[in-house]
Amino acid sequence: MNVVDSSAWLSFFAGDENAEIFSQPIERIGALIVPSITITEVFKCVFRQCGEDLALECVAQMEQGQVISLDSSLAISAASYGI
């Protein structure tokens, strides 16, 4: 499973120098997990910089992965796992 944070998504969408590195986990759709908070963060940033249409296109691509609602219980479990 691959979880990609908002900064990696933004790098991927911007096509910057790290985009190729992040494209590998992002393009493995079957293994991609997208926390709902990541969609919020990416939408907000892209909307502010490029407008709603592009922000919605980015979200549509993100939603190709398995979107997971991040509640407090899951957030604590995820944080504990990463320690």
CATH level 3 topology of 2-81 = Rossmann fold (3.40.50)
Tokens of 69: 């609602």
pLDDT in tens, 27-49: 999 999 999 999 999 999 999 99
pLDDT in tens, 7-28: 999 999 999 999 999 999 999 9
Query: What count of other Cβ atoms lies within 10 Å of the Cβ of residue 65?
Result: 22
pTM for the whole structure: 0.85
Domain boundaries, the chain: 2-81
